[in-house]
Amino acid sequence: MKLLSRLVFSKFLQSPPNYQGFVKPADETEKHAVLIDLDATGLSAEVYEEYDLWSLEDELEAAVSAAAAGEFDGNECGPDAVRLFLYGPDAEELFLALEPVLSAHPLCQNATVVIRFGDFGAPSREIRIQQK
């Protein structure tokens, strides 16, 4: 079995793929991102008891959808951190659609937002959400 997989794999390595005329499908084009890192441990107990992540995600998704600025792609949750992923063709436009929710929702207090202008490794800027 190892010999067969080596033969098959080496066949692919012998001739480089021909990318001439290749166009990325629309869903694979470079996407800008807004990544939201929520403060998962430093807010008051009342905030965590009264507000839930799913409602916040619904609000963010509605704001992005209303502005036709991109899409909400999900979250990663750990014991000390929560990161929300949103993608669209223009990171600034995406952030502008999200900003009213971010500045008003209690779970977004002290959140860090990364506004990335392309795929992973592209230039980005980071801001901290301060609420009144």
The tens digit of pLDDT for each residue in 59-69 reads 999 999 999 99
Confidence at 12, pLDDT banded by 50, 70, 90? very low
Residues 98-111: tens digit of each pLDDT: 999 999 999 999 99
Which distant-in-sequence residues (6+ apart) come within 8 Å of 108 by Cβ? 36, 38, 56, 101, 102, 129, 131
Q: Is the pLDDT of residue 50 over 80?
A: yes
The confidence score (pLDDT) of residue 30 equals 61
C-alpha 58/C-alpha 112 separation (Å) is 19
Predicted local distance difference test score (pLDDT) of residue 29: 54
pLDDT of residue 27: 52
Hey, CA dihedral for 110, 117, 85, 71, is it positive or negative?
positive
The answer to whether 112 and 84 have CB atoms below 8 angstroms apart is: no
* pLDDT above 50 (res 8): no
- Provide the percentage of residues in the chain whose pLDDT is more than 70: 77
Q: Are 34 and 91 within 8 A, CB to CB?
A: yes
* pLDDT beyond 80 at 19: no
Residue 4's alpha-carbon distances to 11, 16, 19, in angstroms, are 11, 20, 27
